[in-house]
Amino acid sequence: MPDLFDELQRAIEAEPLDTEEAIDRFRIRYLSRKQGRITELLKQIPTVAPEERKAFGQRVNRLKKLVEARIEAARERLRRSRTVARPEIDLTLPGRRPLPGSTHPLTQTLEDIKRVFTSYGFSIAEGPEIEDDWHNFTALNFPPDHPARDMQDTFFLEPPEREHGGILLRTHTSPVQIRIMESEPPPYRVIVPGRVYRNEAISYKSYCLFHQVEGLCVDEGVTLGDLKQILHAFARALFGEDVKMRFRPSFFPFTEPSAEVDIWWPDPALPNGGKWLEILGCGMVDPNVFEAVGVDPERYTGYAFGMGIERIAMLRYDIGDIRTFYENDVRFLAQF
Ligand code: PHE
């Protein structure tokens, strides 16, 4: 025969007490003075045979405690769920606008530059921003008294008087040409993006750091014509199919001959209807540079170029002040 107490206990434990009303009904069913089931059992105690009375009484009391504990716990649970209850959703509030980020204009420009050159079979390399004199100057055929080696132009970490000629923040990406040619034999067909540093007065057109993309192509039979062809393709891709460009003779210690490349910038407000703007430096790798890195200048020829990414981004997006690239002003950045 199922034990009455066990059955009651199971019923008490199974009752889902999730509303105030359910708790009240539960309390009345078990504890009400008139017909509560526990109350009735308590009333029976005096009628139980004396030898069973104590055990009976203890079991009734245990059930009573269980009922009380369940009521107490259920009330506590309800109270807590009320205090964390969310306020009702107000559908009349204006929505919150998402603020998506955008790619920095320098990054966009660099990505476009990379796309052009990788499509012509160039790979991408990088080099250290902290350089020694050998890679930044000497191996690139800078004479010992060249003005760029002056403290005025270069940030030195260790002064140039030391025997290794000083440790410095690279002033251009050209030292990576040296590192590439030192590390493996030709051919090379590579571009090198990176940050460079110059100790210059800060203004709307120059900053103490900026970014360059270096290019290096060395193989048997590489000519000045190849250089012109690739740079023309580059200018068309970045500035449009009908871009006008010119090669203007120039000088760099590490290229011979050397040139600077200008593009024609139409501007109806100017007397000539526009002006020439310099976008990069370039030339054929000087044989002295090949000698410094152990590449045979009788067998190999090559070209190199270097461009400032800021300069190109300023032209493309009509940005008037180089400093805006580094200020992280969202009002500026959100325009791109
Ligand atoms: N390194 C040169 C500069 O910073 C640019 C350059 C690179 C010129 C490669 C020729 C060849 O001005």
* Ligand 1 and 283: CB distance under 6 A: yes
Distance CA 304, CA 293 (A): 15
Q: Each residue's pLDDT tens digit in the chain (336 positions)? A: 468 899 999 999 999 898 999 999 999 999 999 889 999 999 999 999 999 999 999 999 999 999 999 999 999 988 888 776 667 888 888 988 888 889 999 999 999 999 999 999 999 999 999 999 999 999 999 998 888 787 778 999 988 776 667 899 999 999 999 999 999 999 999 999 999 999 999 999 999 999 999 999 999 999 999 999 999 999 999 999 999 999 999 999 999 999 999 999 999 999 999 999 999 999 999 999 999 999 999 999 999 999 999 999 999 999 999 999 999 999 999 899
Task: Check residue 89 and give its pLDDT.
Answer: 84
Task: Verify that 64 and 144 share a domain, yes or no.
Answer: no
- CATH number, domain with residue 162: 3.30.930.10
Task: Verify that 6 and 119 share a domain, yes or no.
Answer: no
Q: Report yes or no on 90 lying in a domain.
A: no
- Report how far ligand 1's centroid is from the alpha carbon of 173 (Å): 8
Nearest to 276 by CA among 246, 239, 231: 246
Task: Verify that 269 and 209 share a domain, yes or no.
Answer: yes
Q: Report yes or no on 319 lying in a domain.
A: yes
How many domains is the chain built from? 2
Task: Check residue 85 and give its pLDDT.
Answer: 63
Q: Report yes or no on 302 lying in a domain.
A: yes
Task: Verify that 31 and 134 share a domain, yes or no.
Answer: no
Element (H, E) at 73: helix 50-83
Distance CA 316, CA 43 (A): 96
Strand partners, 217: 189, 303
Q: Report yes or no on 213 lying in a domain.
A: yes
Q: Report yes or no on 88 lying in a domain.
A: no
Pairing of strands 167-169, 130-132: antiparallel
Task: Verify that 160 and 304 share a domain, yes or no.
Answer: yes
Task: Check residue 162 and give its pLDDT.
Answer: 64
Contact of 103 with 172, CB cutoff 8 Å:
no
Task: Verify that 30 and 148 share a domain, yes or no.
Answer: no
Task: Verify that 165 and 287 share a domain, yes or no.
Answer: yes
Give the range of the structural domain holding residue 35, as residue numbers without chain letter: 2-82
- Report how far ligand 1's centroid is from the alpha carbon of 161 (Å): 25
What residue owns the CA closest to ligand 1's atom 5? 306
* Ligand 1 and 105: CB distance under 6 A: no
Q: Report yes or no on 16 lying in a domain.
A: yes
Please tell me whether residue 207 adopts helix, strand or coil conformation. Answer: coil
Task: Verify that 201 and 128 share a domain, yes or no.
Answer: yes
End-to-end C-alpha distance for the chain, whole angstroms: 83
Give the dihedral of Cα atoms 316, 322, 326, 331; nearest 10 deg. Answer: -60
Task: Verify that 41 and 165 share a domain, yes or no.
Answer: no
Task: Verify that 219 and 262 share a domain, yes or no.
Answer: yes
Task: Check residue 81 and give its pLDDT.
Answer: 82
Q: Report yes or no on 93 lying in a domain.
A: no
- Report how far ligand 1's centroid is from the alpha carbon of 164 (Å): 23
pTM for the model: 0.72
Task: Verify that 151 and 254 share a domain, yes or no.
Answer: yes
Task: Check residue 22 and give its pLDDT.
Answer: 92
Task: Check residue 164 and give its pLDDT.
Answer: 67
Q: Report yes or no on 94 lying in a domain.
A: no
- Report how far ligand 1's centroid is from the alpha carbon of 197 (Å): 14
Task: Verify that 251 and 151 share a domain, yes or no.
Answer: yes
